[in-house]
Amino acid sequence: MKKSLKFVDYFYGISPRERDILQYNLYFKSMEMYKTKNSFKEVSDILDVHPSTVKSWIRNMNFPFLIRLYKHYINLGKLDKKYQWLPMNSTRGGLLIGPWIKIPNKISSFKDIEYVVNQLNPLKNSRFKNYKKLDMFAYVLGMTVGDTSKLGIERSQRVTRRLQLRLTKRYKSNEITGEFVKFCLNSLGVRMNRTKDCPAGKRNTHPFYAWHSQCSLFIQWIFNVCLGMSNQEKTTYDPINARWILDTPRSFRISFLQGLADSDGWVDITTFRAGIVGGPNTGFIQEIYTSLGINSFKGYLHRGTLGYVSINLNDASKLPLFNPCVKSYRYIWMERIVNAKRFSNRWEWPEWLGKEIDKLVKRNLSSTEIIKKVLEKYNIAISQNGVRRRCQKILSV
């Protein structure tokens, strides 16, 4: 008589192989037969299982995968149908180990996220203090949608996933960005480590900082359940299904946007706007901005193939759109532009400033280059239209 496998349904992401099911049933048969036969070899011959395997089973030296899972089930107990058990760690040999947490198989509201995050125990890491764990989770969600590689790894009975992050060494602040992502994951009980820097390539002239996390069913749960992505989908091309984010606390929504912005954001001094390259998620990002009371604009780059959402720099600074703990080069640039001295129009420029701009125009610099140089040298933000008209005036002489 075959033993029931209903207990497997209490565990997230576990799909036993036929071999696992066979060994599970053989294990119970061997235990029953040994009571009467009292010989490892006799049981081995009848069941066609190697004697050493039978011996290890009966003497509790080793167990089939499903027997180990069954023992976890006995210790952990049953759950409401809405929840499943998930192990935060596994050994190199693939054994599931704790701590075990209860996770919903669907996100219905913010309370589901709170329930999970409150179970997570941080690893030792104190570089960034006074940061809420729920906001860390939101930031990781944003980063997961953005820059991180989300490599799915097929194991014997499950698919696990790891996050890999590579950031250009062109900007020193990217090192802090990566360390902050590491801190957030460590604070959520997931290991992430700095790895060897990656060399520059043909397209990228700068080397990269690099980090990667442990392979984890928890990250797989984030990808499948929190973001609503199937294993065949990619965040680059496929939209996430996470509308529950719209009904989360304001700080959670902002932290999610910060994860996206620190990953795929930009600041444009010429238009006085900041944006996020959202790809297939531009509409959803706009909805988040609307829920925060912020007007946004949706546009496209690369001949209409890459969607983005932008907002006024003043709104971006007030949120803030970029994480203030990280203080990325984008955040610093945004704050510098917003806090710079401004003139209503070019007629208000002092004479000395006009002469400085004329010199830059005569050097055949673009309007963007001129605006940046004036900001960096004098902490003055001038408009692109003003520079262009100045150029036209000089060239017409």
166 and 38, same domain (yes or no): no
Say yes or no: 65 and 194 in one domain: no
Q: Are residues 319 and 362 in the same domain?
A: no
Hey, which residues does 268 pair with through a beta bridge? 273
Structural domain for 300, as ranges: 133-334
**Spans of the chain, pLDDT less than 50:** 1
Predicted local confidence at residue 148, as pLDDT: 74
The predicted structure's pLDDT at residue 214: 93
Residue 161 resides in a domain? yes
Q: Same domain for 269 and 313?
A: yes
So what's the pLDDT on residue 252? 98
In a domain, 95, yes or no: no
Q: How confident is the model at residue 250, as a pLDDT?
A: 98
The Cα 209–Cα 250 span in angstroms is: 31
At residue 128, the pLDDT reads 62
How distant, in Å, are the alpha carbons of 25, 105, 184, 259 from that of 38?
19, 45, 54, 62
Let me know whether 275 and 149 are in one domain. yes
Q: Which residues contact 297 (CB under 8 A, 6 or more apart)?
A: 273, 309, 310, 311
pLDDT of residue 129: 63
The enclosing domain of 320 has a CATH number of 3.10.28.10
CA atoms of 104 and 117, how far apart (whole Å) = 12
Residues 258 and 274 in one domain: yes
On whether the CB atoms of residues 211 and 182 are closer than 8 A, the answer is yes
**Helical spans, DSSP H, in the chain:** 18-37, 40-47, 51-58, 65-76, 110-117, 133-145, 173-187, 217-221, 250-264, 282-291, 313-318, 329-339, 351-362, 367-378, 384-396
CA 55 to CA 38: how far, in whole Å? Answer: 11
Domain finish residue from 78, 99, 119 = 78
Residues 140 and 279 in one domain: yes
61 and 171 part of one domain: no
Would strands 96-104 and 83-90 be described as parallel, antiparallel, or unpaired?
A: antiparallel
Q: Do residues 240 and 380 both lie within one domain?
A: no
How open is the CA angle 161-166-171, to the nearest 5 degrees?
A: 155
The reply to whether 68 falls in a domain is yes
CA 219 to each of CA 14, 30, 381: distance values in angstroms, whole numbers, following the listed order: 14, 37, 43
pLDDT for 397 equals: 58
Q: What is the pLDDT of residue 229?
A: 93
- In this structure, is residue 96 part of a structural domain? no
Whether 67 and 49 share a structural domain = yes
Query: Given this model, what pLDDT does residue 391 score?
Result: 81
Query: Do 149 and 175 belong together in one domain?
Result: yes
Q: What is the pLDDT of residue 127?
A: 59
Residues written for the chain: 397
Q: Are residues 384 and 350 in the same domain?
A: yes
389 lies in a domain?
yes
Q: Are strands 341-342 and 380-381 parallel, antiparallel or unpaired?
A: parallel
Going by C-alpha positions, the residue among 19, 12, 54 that lies closest to residue 37 is 54
Number of domains in the chain: 3
In a domain, 110, yes or no: no
